[in-house]
Amino acid sequence: MTTWAFFLYLSADNGQSKEVAMLPIPMAYDTLQGHLCQVLSGVPGIRIPQIRNLALGVWGLVKARSCHLGKVADQLPSDGSKPSRICRLKRFLMNPRILIDAIYGQIVQKILERWHRDYLTLAVDRTDWEAFNILFVGIPFVGRTIPLAWKVLDPQGNSSFQEQKALLEKILPWIPAHMKVGLLRDREFRSVELIRSVQSLGWDFGLGQAEDTYVILARGRRCQLRDLKTKPGQVRFFEEVCLTDFHLFGPVPLICYWDREKKEARFMATNLPAVHRPFRWGKSRSWIEGTFRDYKSQGFDLEAPRLVHADRLQKLLLVIAVAYVWMYHVGRWALRTGRRKQLDAASKRSFSFFRLGLDWITQAISRFQPIEVGFAPYS
């Protein structure tokens, strides 16, 4: 491990200054690189230079709080000119041999090995980025969603059933066999084919429905969901509802509730009894929007680089995901070890774990303190 030291210049008896070395401090970047090497050592086909370049990208991203390659390059602990550092980052993004799924799948398995429950809730959503759409699946957890997988799509509106199915199939090998899974989806993801696919996996589901969806209620009444007249503060439960928009599907329980943030009624079809868990699901599904904000304007400034190639954006999202899980881990660690009060006023407690982690790492680096590295957001 590389080490470096600070030096104090003290006045000697003869009036001249002398150099006195303080205790050597492990280079913080080496801590990150060493941990990534340890976690990813079992990935088939991965090379040490790839891990080093991934570590450089993650380190530069966290310090710069921006995906702009010039700003990331400014933060890299490497020799060479700024143009050469930028070229190194570009080569990583352009490298066709980077095994995105194998690399991040290893990290996801580390996350799930130490997960605190045998029930795993997943959320799927989509966000726009410049000329692309990004399909995203993750674990809703305390106001945010921990990324599990993503896919860069063409900018043609909603994602297709095949794209959604492929994304879910990607994460299947990473989920421990003993875990029960529940899937949350927004109104975009309401295809009957996907529901049946999820059912074939033995998963629970909570499927958002658009207000213009036609349903048949238990007593045979046919109406649109908007006709159910859900009011602010109200939660309504219906059993044995059939969905009739595309194919007759059901009967399933239906939940109607008022979204205080969006100021509109929300509707969710589920396979579970219409009680509290599905309602909590509906609230936690929106946490993915907070993660998108962290990726963009309130964190890593994803929209700063002008990437025009989907494969390069895929690799940039790998760097962001690794950095995000690291910061979430550090935020949880800061809370558990009583360090939160150094960053977040007790009267407000407005910071997410991601923001706590980002601020803690920034503070630790500026104060030459040891840094915490890990990829276990719940441990």
pLDDT in tens, 113-157: 888 889 999 999 888 877 788 999 999 998 899 999 999 987 766
pLDDT band at 369 (very low <50, low <70, confident <90, very high): confident
22 pLDDT band, cuts 50/70/90, is: very low
**Overall residue count recorded for the chain in this entry:** 379
Domains: count for the chain: 2
Cβ burial of 176 (10 Å; 0-12, 13-18, 19+) is exposed
- Give the per-residue pLDDT at 202: 93
Of 295, 320, 354, the one marking the end of a domain is: 295
User: Does residue 196 sit in the same domain as residue 339?
Assistant: no
User: What is the reported pLDDT for 50?
Assistant: 96
Q: Using an 8 Å Cβ cutoff, are 149 and 139 in contact?
A: no
Number of Cβ atoms within 10 Å of the Cβ of 325: 25
Residue 263 — pLDDT band, cuts 50, 70, 90? confident
* pLDDT for residue 7 is more than 50: no
Q: Are residues 255 and 163 in the same domain?
A: yes
Residue 253 shares a structural domain with residue 319: no
Whether 60 contacts 82, CB under 8 Å: no
Asked, for residue 56, whether it belongs to a domain, the answer is: yes
- Residue 137 in any domain: the answer is yes
Q: Check residue 123 and give its pLDDT.
A: 92
User: What's the pLDDT at 42?
Assistant: 86
State residue 316's pLDDT score: 96
Element (H, E) at 64: helix 48-64
Please say whether the beta carbons of 244 and 256 come within 8 A. no
Please report the pLDDT score of residue 276 as a whole number.
55
Tokens, residue 280: 């909590």
Comparison of pLDDT for 103 and 194, the residue scoring more:
103
Percentage of residues in the chain with pLDDT exceeding 90? 46
Rounded to 5°, angle at Cα 324 from 318 and 329 = 130
375 falls within a domain: no
pLDDT value, residue 262: 79
133 and 247 fall within a common domain? yes
Q: Among the listed ranges 45-49, 71-75, 200-204, 363-367, which one has the minimum average pLDDT value? A: 363-367
pTM (global) more than 0.75:
yes
What confidence score (pLDDT) does residue 279 get?
Answer: 56
Residue 300 in any domain: the answer is: no
Using alpha carbons, select from 34, 44, 175 the residue that is nearest to residue 113: 175
CATH number at residue 195: 3.30.420
Task: Say if 377 falls within a structural domain.
Answer: no
Give the whole-angstrom CA distance, residue 197 versus residue 233: 33
The range of the structural domain enclosing residue 253 comes to: 115-295
- Asked if the model's pLDDT at residue 268 lies above 90, the reply is no
- pLDDT tens-place string over residues 347-356: 455 678 999 9
> Averaged over 328-332, what is the pLDDT?
93
Please tell me the predicted confidence (pLDDT) of residue 188. 65
Name the domain boundary from 252, 271, 295: 295
Same domain, 190 and 291: yes
- Condensed to tens digits (0 to 9), the pLDDT of residues 39-73 reads 998 899 899 999 999 999 999 999 999 999 999 99
273-280: average pLDDT: 62
